[in-house]
Amino acid sequence: MPTKIVFGTNELENIGKYINDRKTVLITSSGFVKRGLVDKIQQTCGSIVHVFSGVRSHPEFNDLERAYQEIHRHNFELIVAVGGGSVMDAAKFFSVFHESKASEFVTRIIKNGSANIDYKTIPTILIPTTAGTGSEVTPWATVWDMHERRKYSLHLPELYSEMAIYDPVLTLSIPREITIQTGLDSLSHAMESIWNKNSSPLTLNYAVKSAKIIMQNLPKLSDNLQCLEYRENMMKASMYSGLAFSNTQTAIAHAISYYITTHKHVPHGIACSFTLPMLIDKAIGEYDFIDRAFVEIFGELSSRKMRDLLDRLNVPTNFEDYGVSAKDLKALKSSLSENQRAGNSLISI
């Protein structure tokens, strides 16, 4: 995992040192323009040649292709992305190019694969403003096609960022709802790294550490959003889960979530976490190393504490609570048969 990790309070103030006079495109969302964060970065670093602040949540191909054409009119050597998972995923999409600089080229890679295609990548510095997605330390970017009701992944080994900068101060303004959703996304990343065919002692160590921190800190943070200590702990947990699933990928809970998000419009962090208790129940007794991980996280071999956490955060844990009918469940199960993430799972449904 080649990404250099920098972690510290107010670390964003050092961004000029990391950019090091390279011609840079800054990618973010409109909220950070309003907060004055873009102005602050531009004052710190004089080599920003363009700012794109139009990244939307759950970016789709049409949006990214239009933005790609705008961004690649400029001559630049580096992309800096400040924002949540959608912003960082968009930055990875923009970083892939070839001589024509046509956005459709990247879409073809995503939908058809990169074999025998000559592409290059522009280095990225990724600065997460939520404690959840882990995109800053993975080689994947998620792109949604709501017309097809499908989630696609851009996966290239060169998409690991040059640097991931974790500054917990940037998460202080995140509202409660998004704090919970991104925190649960990170928890799902950790748990999915445990019941995973690609797990190893190293990834298990990171996954268990992440899950323990989230179980202890997310409920407290949801009641005290301005506590920098809880914010810092959650950012560490997100980093640990990112280091775990950047090696394992996700598994069955995320595979289920794609149908729930595209068909029922449930936010990703909720869609990938409400099934965790039932999956824990299914996993217990299957593998000794999974049982040991559960005991280390929860202090017992049970899904009780996970259910208690979701209940405290007002997250229902039944499919019918999300409008999923028997017909939907049949379609959902069918969608899993060719889903790579489902294939990573050591437990079946």
Per-residue pLDDT, 289: 97
Domain 175-343 in CATH 1.20.1260.10? The answer is no
The closest of 168, 137, 142, 167 to 155, measured between CA atoms, is 142
Question: What mean pLDDT do residues 212-239 have?
Answer: 97
Give the pLDDT band (50/70/90) at residue 343: confident
The closest of 5, 1, 2 to 238, measured between CA atoms, is 5
Global confidence as pTM = 0.92
Whether 3 has a pLDDT exceeding 80, the answer reads yes
Whether 166 has a pLDDT exceeding 80, the answer reads yes
Q: Going by C-beta distance under 8 Å and a sequence separation of 6 or more, which residues neighbour residue 109?
A: 96, 117, 119, 154, 156
> Could you state, in order of their start, the residue ranges of all structural domains in the chain?
4-168, 175-343
Per cent of the chain over pLDDT 90 is 76
Give the separation between CA 249 and CA 107, rounded to whole angstroms. Answer: 22
CB 203 within 8 A of CB 47: no
Q: What is the largest CA-CA distance in the chain?
A: 57
pLDDT in tens, 116-143: 678 899 999 999 999 988 999 999 998 9
C-alpha distances out from residue 66 to 8, 88, 94, 247, Å: 35, 17, 11, 32
Per-residue pLDDT, 337: 83
CB 72 within 8 A of CB 117: no
Fold held by 4-168: Rossmann fold (3.40.50)
Whether 222 has a pLDDT exceeding 90, the answer reads yes
